[in-house]
Structure 1
Amino acid sequence: MNTPLRRLATLTLVMFVALMGAATWVQFFQAESLNTDNRNVRGLYREHGNARGPIVAGGVAIASSVPVDDPFGYQRTYADGDLYSAVTGFYSIANGRTQLEEAENPQLTGRSDQLFFSRIRDLLTGRRPEGAAVETTILPAAQQAARAALGDQDGAVVAIEPTTGRILALVSTPGFDPNALAVHSTSEAAAAYRALEGEPGNPLRSNATQERYAPGSTFKLVTAAAALESGSYTADTPVPSPVEYTPPQTSRPITNFGGGSCGGDQVSLADALRISCNTAFAELGVTLGEDALREQSARFGFDDPDLEVPLRVTRSVFPTDLDPPALAQTAIGQRDVQASPLQMAMVASAIANDGRLMKPYLVDTVRSADLTVVSQNEPEEYSQAVSAGTADQLTRMMVGVVDSGTGRAAQIPGVQVAGKTGTAQTLEGQPPHAWFTAFAPADAPRVAVAVIVENGGSLGNEATGGGVAAPVAKAVIEAVLGS
């Protein structure tokens, strides 16, 4: 063979290998990304052509697929869409998917590896493929009570069963109607999405799991826990409680709510929590030190970037490199410490469960179309947040908050409620956020709850956690105990 023919043959071989390599790369290595690309109309038709599994709460489908007479075959519909929007999210041709629709997509479409044998069965029997049902842990009565109690106020409620970590309520306001985003007209769905993006309060983003706030005085539970865990304090230990406390390295004093006294130059740690004494906890935080507060907050779940329930949860933050003024503010839940409502429900849940923090979860069971159990979540310990002895002392201190302190609005006749109020300063000129976290019954807890009402809700600048958020928590607790 002469040189030109050899070169031509070599070039042809190289081009053939390159072509086969490119085809293999596209068809094998890029197959999944191309199939899931929203621009892939074939993928959309294929995905919508099969019945997507339902999302269920309390035995009732809150998201389901119904057959429609168009090229897609099925359309997603949502029952009580606004009520459950923070749970289900949406499933949209034009806008993708969020919340459980995203987190459980492999199960809902039937493409999860867990459903391999179901797919084989459907192939052999000629049965039309269907996605699996995702059964949530949500208790509808608690969800409805939380939504009704928040009313038209912006905020969030999270309720957890302390002994298991099951999420009983997950509400964010303002919510939205996912049905408007599930329509098969891409122009209508896109327009609905843009309209929601422009609404006040960012309804597409869940305040319960995706937002974080200064926790205000609810963070005093973490500071109190660190003090009790140190071994140097008990609930009865006297702590300094001046009218004003000026931390080292600053001339700006910290004052109590309304500028008042906590009842003397010293009060017990229990009384400091009961009346939410800022000066006592600010000085206590400086005395304990940054490391103690950081370690304690981490045991409650702060600074965990990987928390999923299976919704991804925004990381709650304990700040770093704190000078004494910043540490004093952090100890009372101000400055740069940030927490999601789910995080503060976890704090209350751990205290309620003898110091054991169970990992929160939102999905109970996944069932195939023939009702076979594909997977079932079991309770899992997240951490030993505090000792049982510390949890017992904190419980008694929190009962005092509700019985005779700042949380009286959460009292329930015949039920002992343990709670903590919080009123968190926000941007200058803006009303404070109102917080309340609690559990009940105190002696045998069935529910732990956290509530935030943004910018004081209906009371604005006059709001306190006890006045605005505590009644919401009370309504949720009553719903759980009455179910």
Structure 2
Amino acid sequence: MNAPLRRVAISVLVLFTLLIVNVNYIQVVRSDELRDDPANTRVLTEEYDRERGSIVVDGTEVALSVPTQDQLTYLRQYPQGPVYAPVTGYYSLIYSNTQMERAANDVLAGSDARLFARRLADLFTGRDPAGGDVVLTLDPAVQEAAMAGLEGVTGAVVALDPSTGAVLGMASTPTYDPGLLSSHDPAGIRAYAAELEAMDADPRLNRAIQDNYPPGSVFKVVVSAAALSTGEYTPDTVVPAPDTLTLPGTSTELRNFGNSSCSSSQEQSLIDALTVSCNTAFAQLGIDLGEDRVREMAEAFGMTGEGLEIPMETAGSGVGDIESEAALGQSSIGQRDVRMTPLQAAMVAAAVANDGTLMTPYLVDQVRAPDLTVIDRADPEELSEPVSAEVAGQLTEMMESVVANGSGRAARVPGVTVAGKTGTAQVAEDVPDHNWFIGFAPAEDPQIAVAVFVANGGGTGGDTSAPIAREVIEAHLEGQGG
């Protein structure tokens, strides 16, 4: 063979080798990645040929597939779409899937390993393949109350069962109709998506878990926990509470909300400081405790900067950088770089309610095969123990005082002792403040822990968020016979 022909042969051999390697790389190494890629509409289209499983809340299908007469065999429907949209997400021919539709896709599509026996039986019997159902932990009364309370504002509500971590409610507003993104009309889908994108606040963002915000004074519960856990403080310990506090190493004066005075004596007990949400007292307290204690307590409550899978992926919460004592003072009142998701805020309340033990939040109670056989059931897990039962009791006493005597009065429920904390977080100059409330009830036997976030509400957590929390708490307790 002459040299030119040999070079051609070698080149062809190399090209064939590269082709074979690439095919194997795509089919073997990247197969899972490509199959799970939301942009891979081929896989999504194939899934329309089988009945997708339902998402179920308290025996009601809030997402289900129904037969059609068009080219795609099944259509996804959401009977109470806007109420559950933050949790269900959508299942779209154009935009793939989001929220639980994505997080539980393997079960709903029937490809989950736990459904292997069903798929094998389908193969031998000729039965049409179908997906499994996902049964959520949500309390419909809580979900409806949360969404109603948030109507007209941008915000979020998360409610948890403190003893298990089960998510009882997860609301986010503004909301949308996932059915309009899940139709079989591509033009209609794109038109509705464009309508949502044109809104000031995108309704497709689940603000309960997908973004974090400065928490303001609700972070004072974490600082209180850090102080009480040292053994050097009790709720009755007197701390400085000046009208203004000059931050160390600066000429910056930190003031109380509305330039108010926390105490005529310029000092007050720790319980009174939390009751009236005294900024100067908690800024100084955080400085006295030191960054390590404040940060360690925040991380023990879950503020590690890392997200969770519930099974939807959440944004992280954290304290951020603290480069000086002045920064520590600002961080200790929930400002500067401190950020929380509403889920994380609810976790703080839930840990206090559960005698200091923080349970891992979860949304899926059961996974069912197409014949409704339960193939998996939630097993609550402890995430951490940020404080002792004794400290949790002290925090409960202090948070009860906030609702009974202080800034959280609007969260009172007749005949029920509510423990809580308000928060009003500055965002930027000439931008309305964020408003928060966290709490739990009944304080002596907690059944629900809740966090309410109103973005740029412009008021205070006590007058904007606390009333929503009251409605959510009442809805759950009435359903429990409380």
* TM-score normalised per structure 1: 0.95
The residue that corresponds to 1:95 in the other structure is 95
The residue that corresponds to 1:431 in the other structure is 432
Aligned residue for 1:327, secondary structure, equals helix
Kindly provide the CA deviation profile for residues 411-447 of structure 1, in whole angstroms up to 9, marking residues without a partner as x: 1111000000111111210111111100000000000
Cα distance in 2 between the residues matched to 1:59 and 1:353: 28
**Aligned 1:185-200 pairs, distance under 5 A:** 185-200=185-200
* 1:3–1:287 Cα change, 3 Å: closer
Aligned residue for 2:340, secondary structure, equals coil
Say if 2:423 is the partner of 1:422: yes
Say if 2:326 is the partner of 1:330: no
Tell me if structure 1 keeps the 8 A contact 2:41–2:96: no
How big is the shift at 1:193? 1.6
Kindly provide the CA deviation profile for residues 202-248 of structure 1, in whole angstroms up to 9, marking residues without a partner as x: 21111100111110111100010000011110111000011111121
Tell me if structure 1 keeps the 8 A contact 2:322–2:328: no
Say if 2:272 is the partner of 1:271: yes
The residue that corresponds to 1:367 in the other structure is 368
Aligned residue for 1:350, secondary structure, equals helix
Tell me if structure 1 keeps the 8 A contact 2:41–2:94: no
Greater mean alpha carbon deviation, residues 174-183 or residues 43-52: 43-52
How big is the shift at 1:68? 1.1
Cα distance in 1 between the residues matched to 2:233 and 2:430: 38
How big is the shift at 1:20? 3.9
Aligned residue for 2:456, secondary structure, equals helix
The residue that corresponds to 1:355 in the other structure is 356
How big is the shift at 1:177? 0.7
What amino acid does structure 1 have at the position aligned with 2:216? G
Tell me if structure 2 keeps the 8 A contact 1:91–1:97: yes
The residue that corresponds to 1:400 in the other structure is 401
How big is the shift at 1:40? 5.3
How big is the shift at 1:194? 2.2
Cα distance in 2 between the residues matched to 1:7 and 1:253: 79
Cα distance in 1 between the residues matched to 2:392 and 2:38: 49
Cα distance in 1 between the residues matched to 2:440 and 2:34: 48
How big is the shift at 1:34? 4.4
Tell me if structure 2 keeps the 8 A contact 1:159–1:448: yes
What amino acid does structure 2 have at the position aligned with 1:311? M
Say if 2:102 is the partner of 1:106: no
* 1:48–1:79 Cα change, 3 Å: same
Cα distance in 1 between the residues matched to 2:269 and 2:38: 60
Aligned residue for 1:248, secondary structure, equals coil
- 5+ long unaligned stretches in structure 2: none
Tell me if structure 2 keeps the 8 A contact 1:95–1:193: no
Residue from 457, 464, 467 that aligns with 1:468: 464
* TM-score normalised per structure 2: 0.95
Cα distance in 1 between the residues matched to 2:11 and 2:420: 77
Tell me if structure 1 keeps the 8 A contact 2:299–2:318: no
Cα distance in 1 between the residues matched to 2:34 and 2:390: 55
Cα distance in 2 between the residues matched to 1:100 and 1:317: 25
Considering only aligned residues, what root-mean-square deviation do their CA atoms show, in Å?
1.9
What amino acid does structure 1 have at the position aligned with 2:478? G
Cα distance in 1 between the residues matched to 2:8 and 2:146: 75
Kindly provide the CA deviation profile for residues 158-183 of structure 1, in whole angstroms up to 9, marking residues without a partner as x: 00000000000000010111011001
What amino acid does structure 1 have at the position aligned with 2:397? R
Tell me if structure 1 keeps the 8 A contact 2:66–2:75: yes
Kindly provide the CA deviation profile for residues 371-418 of structure 1, in whole angstroms up to 9, marking residues without a partner as x: 121211111000001111100000000001111111111111110000
Kindly provide the CA deviation profile for residues 135-160 of structure 1, in whole angstroms up to 9, marking residues without a partner as x: 00000000001111122111110000
Cα distance in 1 between the residues matched to 2:438 and 2:41: 47
The residue that corresponds to 1:127 in the other structure is 127
**Aligned 1:133-212 pairs, distance under 5 A:** 133-212=133-212
Cα distance in 1 between the residues matched to 2:41 and 2:279: 59
Cα distance in 2 between the residues matched to 1:183 and 1:347: 39
What amino acid does structure 1 have at the position aligned with 2:392? A
How big is the shift at 1:23? 3.7
- 5+ long unaligned stretches in structure 1: none
What amino acid does structure 2 have at the position aligned with 1:154? T
Kindly provide the CA deviation profile for residues 254-298 of structure 1, in whole angstroms up to 9, marking residues without a partner as x: 111221211222111001001111111011011011111100000
Aligned residue for 1:452, secondary structure, equals strand
Say if 2:315 is the partner of 1:319: no
Superposition misfits of 4+ residues, deviation over 2 angstroms = 1-45, 185-188
How big is the shift at 1:3? 9.2
Greater mean alpha carbon deviation, residues 148-157 or residues 437-446: 148-157
Cα distance in 1 between the residues matched to 2:397 and 2:142: 25
Equivalent residue pairs, number: 478
The residue that corresponds to 1:259 in the other structure is 259
